[in-house]
Structure formats: C-alpha cells, structure tokens
Structure 1
Amino acid sequence: MKFSEYCQYDGLGLAALVRQGEVTPVELLQTAVARLEVLNPQLNACVHTFVKSAEARARKPLPDGPFTGVPFILKDLLDDLAGEPTSLGTGQVRWYPEQNAEIVNRYLQAGLVPFAKSNLPEFGLMITTEPKAFGPAHNPWKAGYSTGGSSGGSAAAVAARIVPMASANDGGGSIRFPAACCGVFGLKPSRGRNPTGPLEAEGWDGAIAGHPITLSVRDSAAMLDCLSGPELGTGFKIPKPTETFLSQLEKPLKPLRIGVSARPMIAAEVSPEAKAALANTVALLKDLGHVVVEAHPEIDAGQMWADFMVVISGHTAAKVNQIKTIWGSKAAASLEPGTLSAAMLGRSFSSADVAQAKEGWHKVRAAMGRYLEEYDMLLTPTLIDEPARHGVIPPTAFEALQMRLGHRLPLGKLLMKSGLLFSLSERVLSRMAFTLMGNVTGLPAMSVPLHWTANGLPLGSQFVGRMLDEGRLLQLARQLENAQPWFDRRPLL
C-alpha cells in the first residue's frame, strides 16, 4: 500500500479497508514499518522494533475487532507485551515480561498489530522525551524541539503518520501534553475506566491512566469502547455505559456551560501565544452555541504540587529499590540524576507525610467537584507555551551533578520546606500547570489540537470533564473536529 493512500485514513478507516478485502494486515504493517524506517532516524520516536513477530501475528487470523489489521506502537512503559523487552526509558534495565499487561490484551483483542516500542523519558518522570539512554525524540513539526512527555515517542509517531494511533499513559499530563506538542488528539480517561494492571494495578496511587493518542476523535472513542471495563483485582468497578462511546459521537450535543481559566494551578508564566490559543478556542465554542464563562477553580496551587511530589517520589523510590534488587546496584546507579533525586525525596518522607499528602489530593477533588456542579467542563490551555527546545527542560550539567552528589542524603523535607525543591523542579512542574490536576483528581481530560503558533508548532486546548463523563468530552471533541479539522494538517517530513 502506498503511503500517500495509507496516511489518508484513521484506524477505523484502515480496518474498514481490511474488512472489504482492499488491503491485508500484512500490507498495512509493511507500509507502517517502511514509514518508520524512513522517519525514525530523524524523529527517534521508537526505540525497539519486533517486525518479524508482528508479521507472524498479521499473517494469522486476527481477532474480529473494530481495528483488525491496523499497525500499532506500544509505549515502552507499563504497556508490556510478553517476550518483548520493556526498558522504562533506562539504559540498563531490560525486562522481558512473561505476560501481557491487561490493556495490551485488550489492544490485541481489538485486532491491532503492534510492531514497535516508543521512546519516553526515564520512568516517565519528565514532561519532555529526552532520555539519556536513547536520545531525544524530535517534534515532527520542528526538529530540535520537544515532543512533550512522557508519551512523546507515541505522539511523534502518530503526528508523523507512522501509525494512526499509539499507546500512551498519563500520570501528570503524559497523554495530553505530548498530544498538544505534536498536534494530535489525546484523551486521559477517568480513574479506573481503563485497566492499568496487573503489575501496576493503581499506578502512582491511581494518578496514572492509559489510553492511545490518536489522529481522530472517533478512533479514541472506539478504543475506549475496547479498553474500558474492570480488570481482575481492580479497586475501581466502573461499568461500561449503556451506549458505546463511538455511537455517542453521532448524538447531537446540547449547548454546554463551560468554565474557562488561564490561571495556572502551579506557579507558572502563561505565554501570550498560549493565551491567544485559549481565546481562539473560546471564540470557536461561542460560535458553536456554548456558554463560556471565566471562572477559576479554588485550588491551593502550591499545596497541590507539593502533595503530588510526596506521593510520586515514594513510588519512584520503590521502583529504584526494585531495580537494585532485580538488576543490581550498577543498574540502579546508572539511572539519571533526576530519577535518583526523586527517589531520594521518596525515601525522605514518612508514611504520615504520604497520608497527609493524599488528604490534599482529596481536597483538590472536592474543589473540582464543586466547580463542576456549576460548569459542565473546565477549559484551560494544555501547555503554558509552545513546545520547548531540546535541553531547556532537563537538568543542566551542574544541576545533574548536584542531584547525583546529593541523592543519598535524606534532604526531601528540607528541600520542600525551604522552597528549593520547587526551584530545582520548576522547569518541569511549571509546564504541568494545567494538566496535573486531572491526575490528582482522576477526572477525565483531553487535549484538542486547535492552534499552531507563529513558529509552526502546535498548542492544544485542554477540557476537563466530570467523573466518568468521557462521552460528553468526546462529543465536544468531535464537534470541534468538524468545525476546525486537523486531520489533514500534517508536518512536512
């Protein structure tokens, strides 16, 4: 199949061609692999391929799902495929799982054919994909610029039309942020909607949610139909809706009352370009008949990021300990300074500190519950500014040296109380100013690609909905997609 034809379809469109006998799964896979071989040297979107086993899968009868025969890329974190290595973005860890992650089982049951693993920052901790082990992923819209993180390789592969969608997961913005950076669609589902187990049954205390980054809204809706539902041992028994998410896209959307805020929920400076993108989205919404009111959630921004850091650093410390136990001290010592520093923070806090931080999460959830009683959704920028140049967000060489020298000392509480922790982490935390709240609360949120800057880089608009209200989020996204299409807006590669 020629790429000029392949790139005209989303996932559901390619699957329809397979069902009609116009193309085979093997031919689709070969087209995607050829596209990857041409573009990956300049994008560095993928770090591992398994084409032979993918071809063997494609030649056998595939499950009869909505995406039968469609090529797919898995994120190299959490989305484990039995027999293929998971590196977590590290240099020395190569884990060969004996079983699939449950979400991967559901991807396969939908008929997808995975053939590669995407690039990501180490442990998924950074908001940019610039790991030391594999090198930076380049934004398809402009080389030398960030794809966002942590699902940056997946977003770049989708934007470059290597695949129509790729797996992603989001613990602080890691679906929405790279989707915004790369000009594609990213939905973070409600906590518990999609599986995260069996190994990470409640990743980051429930902050992590998994769902693909897609070119089209309908692909995202159809995938949510395939992925959603409880898994064995889950603490969240969320039933599927009575109507499919895909069918809900065809229903008329009643005018919404949408609150809009450009006030960051973590200390940050929002650029004029991000404010202009937000204003354009507000104008579009009003043209579509929605009521948009400036209204800011009542959230203690300083407390929210601090509580998040207490909980997440504890998970990082546990992961570093696991690596040391399984792969040895050398592998643990080889981790990036930022990872080791985050683990130090986790070792510094007590279980009482974590319990208190989780109470802070509940306060944020209550504040958003009150907000969403008055408004159907919250609209914010996804990014505080256009995607950053490579090297801007990661630690400098001097900062990395400081982190490596101090990672064994229990300095977490001192750094937190003195304000130094925010100063050291500001380049990362400030860019999560609008996305982090969705992970703390578990609310569904999406980034919609509605604006490109004068520099030719994408900026997304974020919508946060009520708990389990993905159907209405997707309805609005489809309406925006029809009003201001982005599918045919492609980077020049």
Structure 2
Amino acid sequence: MGEYLSADATTLAGLVAAGEVTAAEILDLARARADAVNPSLNAIVIKMDAEADARVRGDLTGPFAGVPFLIKDLAQDYRGYPTTRGSRALATHIAREHSFGVQRFLDAGLVIFGKTNTPEFGAKGITEPTFWGPTRNPWDVEVTPGGSSGGSAAAVAAGIVPAAGASDGGGSIRIPAACTGLFGLKSSRGLMPFGPQTGEPLFGMGVEGVVTRTVRDAAALYDALIGPTPSSTYPTPLHTESYTARIATPPRLLRIGYTTTSAINANPHPEAVAAVEHAASVLTDLGHQVEEVAPPHDDAALARDFLDIWFAKCAAQVDEVRRLTGAPDSHFEADTLTLAELGRAAGVVPLFTALDRINDHVLALDRFHQTHDLLLTPTLAVPPPRVGSMTTPPILQRAARLASRARSGRAISRLGIIDKLIYESLGWVPYTQLANLTGRPAMSVPLHWTDAGLPLGVQFVGRLGADGDLLALAAGLEAAAPWFHRYADISL
C-alpha cells in the first residue's frame, strides 16, 4: 500500500506496461484503500465493481492502461449506471450510453470502479447533498473538501486513486483542489467534449476535466481527453504540442499580476493573503516579474451575472428532471427549489442581459492580458469551512418549499436573497467564476498550507488557449515547491 500511495497515475501506468504489476493487482489496492478510508470520507457513492473486474480481465490499451480511476456523479454518464447528479430525484435514472468524456477515460485505458459524490446538480461549492450525505476532507474530516467535485478531490487526496474525473462550472475543479492540496485545471472553453446527452453546459461556462496530485498526470490526461467529436458545434483549436511535451520545457519568464481584493469579500482571510504572497515569492525566485495589481474586472457585477445564468439553468434542470422522472418536490433539496424558483420568476430578460454582459467581462480581462500574462489570486478567500456550516436552517428550508409550491419567486427576490447568495455563498469563493464566464483557462496550485495544517491553493488565470502555459508554469512551481510528498493519511 505504501508503494501505491507514493505513485502517481503516470508511474502506475508505466509499471503495468512493463509487466511489473497487473491492472487487477492495482485495482485491489485501490479498493483496499477505499475500504479503509471511504467510510470516514463518503467520497465514493456508487460502486462499479462488475465493470472494473471485466476491464482488468480484458486487454487494456491507452496511455493509462490499468490505472484505477473514479468518475464524478455529474455529467460523466456511464452506460448501465445512474447519474444521480447528487439528487434523490435521479436515483434510478440509468444512463443509456457513455458520455464522450467517459468514453475518452476508457479509451485512455483507465479502470473506472466507482462514482464520486457531488452536491445536488453541482450547484454548491461544498459537497453535502441530502441524498448521499456530506463528503469530508481527508486533511480534517470536520471541514469540507469543497465542491462540486468534492468527492473526487477527497478520494485523490486520501490516496484511493491518483486522479479522478471532475467538472467546473463556477470553480468546481479549482475549489476542491484548493481545499485538498491537489492540482486542478479548468481548461479553455471548447477543448473538452460534452455530450452526446447535452451540449456545452451553462452556455460554455462548464467544462469537464480531472483533479490530480501531479502536474504531469494532469498534462497527460488532458492530452488524452481534449479534442472535438463528430457532433461538436464548432472546431476545437487544438494545441500544436502535447501538454506532456510542453511541461518538459521550463516556462518562459512571465509577467504576473496578483491581487487578493474582492468587492464580494472585502476582508479575505489572512491565510488566503499569505497564500498569494508566498506564491509571489516563489515566482519571483524563479525569475518571473510579479507585481500587485487592481482587480481587472467588477467581480460584484460578474457575480450577479453568474447567478442570473445559474438560476435560469437551475429552473430548467428541475423542470427537465421532473419531466424525465415525475419526481415530486420532496425529492429535490429546498435550496435547489429556491434557486429554480428565482430563475423561473425572473424570466428571460435577466438571463439574456447577463449573457450580453459576458462580453464586458471578457474585454476587461483582455485589457489586463495585454500587459500581463497571468492573473494570480487566492482560489478561496478563507480556509476550507466546517462541514454543515453552510446548511440552510430547517425553518428556512420549510419556507423555501412553501415559496416554491406557491410560485412566489418574485417575493423571494424582494427579500434580498440574491444579495445574500452573492455575499455568503460566493463570498468564500469570489475569485473562480471569472474564468467560467470568460471561457479562459485557470488552475489552482497547492503551494500553501495553513497554520492549522489545511491546504489553501492559489489560482492563476490565463489567456484563452494558454492551457499549456499554465501547465508549464505549474510544473515549474511543483519542482520549486514540491507538494506530492504531502498526502492526507487519515488512517493514522
């Protein structure tokens, strides 16, 4: 087990290819680790043992042949298994075909043996669905691993697998990576395939991807995953050099602007500020030009636009699930019904106004990138919060269900709930939505640990298509300030 925990996916694939270990033997180790730690974490919510056993008995090909893997129980459909999206309403809704992303995981030779926990419909930055129960952080089981890819992040951080499937519509790769000491890249819009069940989610704001312990695993996995499908709506601009080759070359010296300022959270935690200052110091030592800058965009306006789009999506998603399954309101969480009712009551004007204003945010970020290669911020404004600290009180949940039944979304809006969502729900993660609305690549890098021993990542946002530059920089940071030797051994 010690050898398994000390190996990344690239190492494991090499051992299988060399015949030093079999895929079945590695799968046994992954399952043993899951059996030991998942009862404390609740990271894996659906087991897929029959599929995994059949895979390791067959002839596996691909760059990650024989490496155990987990997929997120959201968007990553696996034929014959439910994709619950963290909701009781979809508990028995079985996928009829693999999603494109899952098929590419399989084509890469990965051995999928389970699905990981996610908040209902991926709608929160924490992973505490009512249906499956909360996922806990391996570094401290009293705090969250983030969300919405919290189950995947917890599984990787605890050593169940070296990498796992994830997705990001508002920070859902980067937030859990920052909470659990992992590397997480949200790729440029259009690189990762979606479908065939759905096209680009959230008007291109959402992307699929992975969370990993090493940068080289992320680079090689994205090499295997990106690219168009026959049903893609437009051509995908592929990189001319593989990411694996790109990270082998030291990055050019970059001009990087950093800020911790946010209109949503005027007082980020001192540890978040320290994380950015530490990153700036490491970057300076590597020869990069680093300077403090003002935020390039109006993040309060961006947050409101983000939520207007999110509310509309939530309303459409609840209606879709009702049509598919006939699920009653009791099968949805109260918070979900509230967001859906806000979107339904608002109508189409706020949605289209928000979509039009995306151009303003793109232009603001473009002006910044005319003088700076990357924007550096905290990934989180605070250390990972305690599990349950963001739970809506029962009396408000009951009120939300009544309001949803009465279709009183306008009344909810007048209560100031949107401002509450901006400053409370996004206040601890005010930095991540920028990359989603603008379609730009962004990554969370685990360079900082708090005095309490918790990870707290920092975020870099690049130009459209600069994914390779981000990965190359991350590889340089990993070499200068290694983090792979750190892992959360909750069995101690």
Structure 1 and Structure 2 fold alike (TM over 0.5)? yes
Q: Is the CA contact 1:267–1:302 (under 8 Å) kept in the aligned structure 2?
A: no
Kindly tell me: are residues 366 and 411 of structure 1, through their superposed partners in 2, closer, same or farther at Cα, counting changes over 3 Å? farther
Is 1:444 matched with 2:474? no
Query: What displacement does 1:352 show?
Result: 2.6
Query: What displacement does 1:416 show?
Result: 4.9
Q: Is the CA contact 1:268–1:384 (under 8 Å) kept in the aligned structure 2?
A: no
Q: Any idea what the Cα deviations from partners look like across 1:361-395, whole Å, max 9, x if unmatched? A: 12111111111111000000001111000111231
SS for the counterpart of 2:457 is strand
State how far apart, in whole Å, the 1-side matches of 2:139 and 2:105 are.
Answer: 28
Query: What displacement does 1:399 show?
Result: 2.5
State how far apart, in whole Å, the 2-side matches of 1:110 and 1:369 are.
Answer: 35
Q: Structure 1: which 5+ runs fail to align? A: none
RMSD: 1.5
Query: What displacement does 1:298 show?
Result: 3.4
Aligned to 1:202: 200
Aligned to 2:144: 146
State how far apart, in whole Å, the 2-side matches of 1:66 and 1:249 are.
Answer: 17
Aligned to 2:373: 376
Aligned to 1:481: 478
Q: Is the CA contact 1:257–1:375 (under 8 Å) kept in the aligned structure 2?
A: yes
Correspondence 1:138-287 to 2 at 5 A: 138-264=136-262, 266-267=264-265, 269-287=267-285
Is 1:114 matched with 2:116? no
**Matched residue type, 1:149:** G
Q: Any idea what the Cα deviations from partners look like across 1:431-475, whole Å, max 9, x if unmatched? A: 220001111111000000011111111100100011010000000
State how far apart, in whole Å, the 2-side matches of 1:369 and 1:413 are.
Answer: 36
SS for the counterpart of 1:432 is coil
Query: What displacement does 1:234 show?
Result: 2.3
Query: What displacement does 1:232 show?
Result: 2.9
Normalised to the residue count of structure 2, the TM-score between the two structures is 0.96
Aligned to 2:76: 79
1:125 to 123, 126, 129: 123
Q: Any idea what the Cα deviations from partners look like across 1:248-280, whole Å, max 9, x if unmatched? A: 011121110001010126345310111111111
**Matched residue type, 1:170:** D
State how far apart, in whole Å, the 2-side matches of 1:426 and 1:266 are.
Answer: 6
2:391 to 387, 390, 394: 394
Is 1:462 matched with 2:459? yes
Kindly tell me: are residues 58 and 158 of structure 1, through their superposed partners in 2, closer, same or farther at Cα, counting changes over 3 Å? same
- After TM superposition, the structure 1 stretch with the greater mean CA deviation from structure 2, 393-402 or 137-146, is 393-402
Q: Is the CA contact 1:218–1:478 (under 8 Å) kept in the aligned structure 2?
A: yes
Q: Is the CA contact 1:416–1:422 (under 8 Å) kept in the aligned structure 2?
A: no
Query: What displacement does 1:309 show?
Result: 1.4
Q: Is the CA contact 2:259–2:376 (under 8 Å) kept in the aligned structure 1?
A: yes
Q: Structure 2: which 5+ runs fail to align? A: none
State how far apart, in whole Å, the 2-side matches of 1:309 and 1:49 are.
Answer: 33
Q: Any idea what the Cα deviations from partners look like across 1:170-229, whole Å, max 9, x if unmatched? A: 011000000000011100001111112122311011110111100100010011111111
Runs of 4+ in 1 over 4 A off after TM superposition: 409-418
**Matched residue type, 1:389:** R
Query: What displacement does 1:233 show?
Result: 2.7
Kindly tell me: are residues 58 and 484 of structure 1, through their superposed partners in 2, closer, same or farther at Cα, counting changes over 3 Å? same
SS for the counterpart of 1:186 is strand
State how far apart, in whole Å, the 2-side matches of 1:365 and 1:344 are.
Answer: 29
Is 1:472 matched with 2:474? no
How many pairs were matched up? 489
**Matched residue type, 2:35:** E
State how far apart, in whole Å, the 2-side matches of 1:186 and 1:90 are.
Answer: 25
Q: Any idea what the Cα deviations from partners look like across 1:152-177, whole Å, max 9, x if unmatched? A: 00000000110000000001100000
Query: What displacement does 1:53 show?
Result: 1.8
- After TM superposition, the structure 1 stretch with the greater mean CA deviation from structure 2, 192-201 or 36-45, is 192-201
Q: Is the CA contact 1:265–1:434 (under 8 Å) kept in the aligned structure 2?
A: no
2:87 to 76, 87, 90: 90
Query: What displacement does 1:131 show?
Result: 0.9
SS for the counterpart of 1:451 is coil
Kindly tell me: are residues 125 and 398 of structure 1, through their superposed partners in 2, closer, same or farther at Cα, counting changes over 3 Å? same
- After TM superposition, the structure 1 stretch with the greater mean CA deviation from structure 2, 386-395 or 112-121, is 386-395
**Matched residue type, 1:244:** S
Is 1:298 matched with 2:296? yes
Q: Is the CA contact 2:315–2:343 (under 8 Å) kept in the aligned structure 1?
A: yes
Kindly tell me: are residues 236 and 294 of structure 1, through their superposed partners in 2, closer, same or farther at Cα, counting changes over 3 Å? farther
State how far apart, in whole Å, the 1-side matches of 2:434 and 2:222 are.
Answer: 22
Q: Is the CA contact 1:191–1:442 (under 8 Å) kept in the aligned structure 2?
A: yes
Aligned to 1:359: 356
SS for the counterpart of 1:338 is helix
Query: What displacement does 1:95 show?
Result: 1.9
**Matched residue type, 1:157:** A
Query: What displacement does 1:61 show?
Result: 0.5
**Matched residue type, 1:471:** G
Q: Is the CA contact 2:250–2:476 (under 8 Å) kept in the aligned structure 1?
A: no
Aligned to 1:427: 424
State how far apart, in whole Å, the 1-side matches of 2:125 and 2:103 are.
Answer: 27
Query: What displacement does 1:18 show?
Result: 0.4
State how far apart, in whole Å, the 2-side matches of 1:302 and 1:286 are.
Answer: 30
Is 1:342 matched with 2:342? no
Kindly tell me: are residues 265 and 169 of structure 1, through their superposed partners in 2, closer, same or farther at Cα, counting changes over 3 Å? farther
